[in-house]
Chain A
Amino acid sequence: EVQLVESGGGLLQPGGSLRLSCEASGFTFNRHWMSWVRQAPGKGLEWVANMNPDASERNYLASVRGRFTIFRDNAKKSLFLQMNSLRVEDTATYYCAREGLPFARDVWGQGTTVIVSS
């Protein structure tokens, strides 16, 4: 079964750091671009970052560039999002998604929740 499982969410104060993880199974992980997408409570979806299969290219939403880092370990079939200098507005459910079809995210994890609050 093709599956993505996120972990690492939590409650923390503004300015804190957190690392999200996404473990893939059921497909050849090192052949796919991977993304992080977030959704604030009661709000819409927002693309956050993506990375190419060999980790040589990464892209970010402007508001997280310089604070978040996307990286991957193909040997462990895992995608990560290192989040530093967290802000209240980063509060959201963070989804890991596979870019398995042109420009589209065809497999999604269940999400992990990050709450930034003082």
Chain B
Amino acid sequence: QSALTQPPSASGSPGQSVTISCTGTSSDVGGYNSVSWYQQYPGKAPKLVIYEVNKRPSGVPDRFSGSKSGNTASLTVSGLQAEDEADYYCLSYAGTTFLYVFGTGTTVIVL
């Protein structure tokens, strides 16, 4: 099972929006409403920011939103802030054979 495909980097100025894609197949992203997104600062543990495609855990700002179309899921960070500069990973359930697969990761840069 290959990792889901994410762009290596994405950038935006403070206050702008940035959208990160996560492309898989009909066996993972497209087959289940299971995509979650994680924010990770260097040397730190990941933090959940979106689950089940578009749901926000308690405490996550509503600047973070998720969506899915076909085999591609997306994470949008609106009103970019300096603290949003981090690595972001998607994760999808991939069925009973492969279980779970992460994306390749995207570094968000706040200009």
Write the residues of chain A forming the contact surface with B, with a CB cutoff of 8 angstroms: 35, 37, 44-47, 50, 59, 61-62, 95, 101-106, 108-111
Contacts and interface: CB of A to CB of B under 8 A. Distances in A.
Output the residue of B35, B36, B104 with the most chain A CB within 10 A: B36
Contacts of A105: 36, 38, 46, 48, 91
> Which size bracket describes the interface of B in this complex?
20 to 34
Contact of A103 (B46, B52, B98): B52
Interface of B: 1, 3, 32, 34-36, 38, 40, 45-48, 51-52, 55, 57, 89, 91-93, 98-105
Contacts of B52: 101-104
A29 to B, nearest CB: 18
B98 A62 contact: yes
A59 B36 CA distance: 19
A62 B97 CA distance: 9
A9 B55 CA distance: 34
Contact of B57 (A59, A62, A106): A106
A111 B100 contact: no
A86 to B, nearest CB: 21
Contacts of B104: 44
B46 A59 contact: no
Given A44-B89, A105-B46, A106-B48, 8 more contacts: A44-B3, A44-B104, A47-B100, A47-B102, A102-B51, A104-B57, A105-B48, A110-B45
Contact of A104 (B1, B51, B101, B103): B51
A105 B51 CA distance: 9
